């Protein structure tokens, strides 16, 4: 069986952390990392929920990345290309045989929030050793076994390769949903703002927004599965 880990890495030296500091209200997410024959890789980064000028200024002021350029803008979402500065991390050879796969990586003002797939506990321990060697703080939020699909590879909570259904709600998502409800975020009119709930939980507004969106997606999907009378849209 494989493992799915959700964790937070804390370090001011992680790329894009300073960008997230510049626009704390935004969601700053890695979309892909493109390797190059030599030199630093290229990051494709999605930024949503912040003023365009503020995002541009955050990239321009950042020391952790360079050569940023806008790839595409779609409403309030902008995608950028950039490269990390500085040399490679310490003890990179520790990950030479590590086949773990990042599923989602968010940059926050304090570090990265990541969801990653590991083949086994040994791979996870290798990754944790690598983090310690680089003085990256690692706070594990969730570590669960993933069932194997028919091809023998680790499958997600809803089956191998099935990305149409939402992932299992995490403890952090449930806490965000319950806290927002108790504070009146879902009331009409609202008696608490996104910032109020984020302060209560001690997280960035962008992280809270993402947790609430995924939690609500999970609830709607669970409701639809329980009610056979709801027909899926065909258009």
**Contacts with 139 (C-beta within 8 Å, 6 or more apart), sequence order:** 7, 8, 10
Adjacent-strand bridge partners of 159: 156
Tens digits of residue pLDDT in 77-107: 999 999 999 777 776 666 666 778 888 999 9
When pLDDT is averaged across residues 142-165 and rounded to a whole number, the result is 48
Longest Cα–Cα distance in the chain: 57
pTM of the full structure: 0.61
**Contacts with 216 (C-beta within 8 Å, 6 or more apart), sequence order:** 177
Of the candidate ranges 33-42, 87-96, 190-199, the one whose mean pLDDT is the lowest:
87-96
- Given this model, what pLDDT does residue 138 score? 93
Whether pLDDT at 135 is above 70? yes
Whether pLDDT at 166 is above 60? no
Between CA 138 and CA 113 the distance in angstroms is 10
When pLDDT is averaged across residues 222-228 and rounded to a whole number, the result is 59
């Amino acid at each position: 069986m494989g493992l799915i880990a959700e964790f937070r890495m804390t370090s001011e030296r992680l790329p894009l952390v300073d960008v997230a500091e510049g626009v704390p209200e935004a969601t700053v997410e890695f979309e892909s990392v493109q390797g190059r024959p030599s030199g630093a890789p290229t990051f494709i980064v999605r930024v949503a929920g912040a003023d365009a000028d503020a995002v541009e200024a955050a990239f321009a002021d950042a020391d952790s990345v360079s050569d940023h350029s806008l790839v595409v803008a779609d409403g309030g979402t902008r995608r950028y290309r950039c490269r990390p500065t500085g040399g490679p991390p310490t003890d990179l050879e520790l990950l030479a045989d590590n086949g773990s796969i990042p599923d989602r990586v968010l940059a926050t003002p304090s570090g990265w929030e990541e969801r990653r797939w590991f083949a086994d506990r040994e791979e996870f321990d290798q990754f944790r050793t690598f983090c310690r060697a680089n003085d990256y703080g690692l706070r594990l939020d969730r570590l669960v076994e993933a069932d194997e699909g028919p091809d023998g590879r680790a499958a997600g909570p809803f089956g191998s390769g099935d990305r149409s259904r939402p992932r299992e709600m995490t403890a952090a998502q449930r806490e965000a949903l319950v806290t927002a409800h108790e504070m009146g975020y879902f009331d009409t009119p609202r008696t608490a703002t996104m910032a109020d709930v984020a302060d209560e939980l001690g997280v960035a507004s962008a992280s809270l927004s993402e947790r609430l969106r995924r939690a609500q997606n999970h609830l709607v999907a669970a409701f639809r599965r329980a009610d056979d009378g709801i027909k899926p849209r065909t258009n």
